[in-house]
Amino acid sequence: MSDIKFSLLLNDVHMIIPPYLYSYLAVLTVVSHIRHWTFSVARKQKFSIMWLKEAYRVLKPGRHIYVFIDWRMYSLIFHLMKHVGFQIRNCIVWDKVNMGMGWQYRYRHEFIIFAVKGKSKVRRIGSRAATDILRVPRISGNKTIHPTEKPTDVIKPLVLNSSLEGEHIVDFFCGSGPVKEVADETGRLFTGFEIDPEHYSNAIKR
Ligand SMILES: C[S@@+](CC[C@H](N)C(=O)[O-])C[C@H]1O[C@@H](n2cnc3c(N)ncnc32)[C@H](O)[C@@H]1O
């Protein structure tokens, strides 16, 4: 990546999959949330360290990063984020209101790790009323254009709390592009990366 420094990083890496495996797994994700365990922890770890180091490098000191992650990958990403230098501050729970896939206890939540770069002059979040629970309904399956699509209503409070108008925010794994839409709507500059041409084309249309 270039030498641009960003004011906010929002990343949704749900599956932590090397890019060449992603399109295969994206399909499986819809069918089963378990299958991604078939890839070795070492491979997930290598890929995750790579992008987290880059995230740390490009974020401005004192600024925020949010990483959406499910419970199976939480501990790995938590430790790797600390390892590359981030100070973990919270684990936000996104309550999706409506249940999703799975059996036994069906999925209704996702974690969002909130962390900062550095220990001094850390920006405070923009709301004193924000809690670590975000209750926002998931997008129902027949309305999504991406297998792990996030509603803009879950992204918007994070963008508003952690960046100012005119600042530059980045999403390394932008999928269908909800962060781009929120950035446009709230007057932030946006940089996004998406390896899948179809998702890329959907994202830039938003
Ligand atoms: C969990 S999804 C993001 C979904 C997105 N937040 C949304 O709401 O639509 C992760 C995305 O990262 C993309 N991806 C995977 N590896 C990548 C890489 N190395 N560079 C850029 N994008 C990548 C995948 O194609 C996928 O669309």
Nearest CA to ligand 1 atom 13: 173
In the β-sheet with 109-117, what is the strand arrangement from edge to edge? 133-135, 86-95, 109-117, 59-69, 6-12, 168-171, 189-192
Residue 117 has pLDDT above 80, yes or no: yes
Chain segment 119-164, per-residue pLDDT in tens = 989 999 999 999 999 999 999 988 999 988 999 999 999 999 999 9
Average predicted confidence (pLDDT) for the chain: 84
Rounded percentage of the chain residues whose pLDDT exceeds 70: 84
Domain assignment present for residue 30? The answer is: yes
Which residue CA neighbors atom 5 of ligand 1 most closely? 175
pLDDT digits (tens, 9 = 90+) for 33-46: 334 445 567 777 88
179 Cα to the center of ligand 1, angstroms: 12
Mean of pLDDT values over 169-184: 93
Minimal-distance CA residue to ligand 1 atom 16: 19
CB-based contacts of 162, cutoff 8 Å, min separation 6: 7, 8, 63, 64, 66, 123, 125, 126
Q: Is 192 in the pocket of ligand 1 (CB under 6 A)?
A: no
139 falls within a domain: yes
Domain carrying residue 192: 6-205
pLDDT at 30 over 80: no
Assigned domain for 82 exists = yes
- The answer to whether residue 52 sits within a structural domain is yes
User: What percentage of residues in the chain have a pLDDT greater than 90?
Assistant: 56
For position 39, what pLDDT does the model report? Answer: 59
Q: Tell me, yes or no, whether 47 lies in a domain.
A: yes
Q: In the prediction, which pLDDT does 17 show?
A: 36
User: Would 1 be classed as within a structural domain?
Assistant: no
Rounded to two decimals, the pTM is 0.87
Ligand 1 atom with minimal separation from the 18 CA: 16
Query: Does residue 137 form part of some domain?
Result: yes
Task: Ligand 1, residue 23: give the atom nearest the CA.
Answer: 25
194 lines ligand 1 (CB under 6 A): yes
Give the Cα separation of 36 and 44 in Å (integer).
10
* Total number of domains in the chain: 1
Q: Is residue 58 part of a domain?
A: yes
- Whichever domain contains 27, its CATH number is 3.40.50.150
51 lines ligand 1 (CB under 6 A): no
Q: Is the CB of 14 under 6 A from ligand 1?
A: yes
pLDDT of residue 32 exceeding 80, the answer is: no
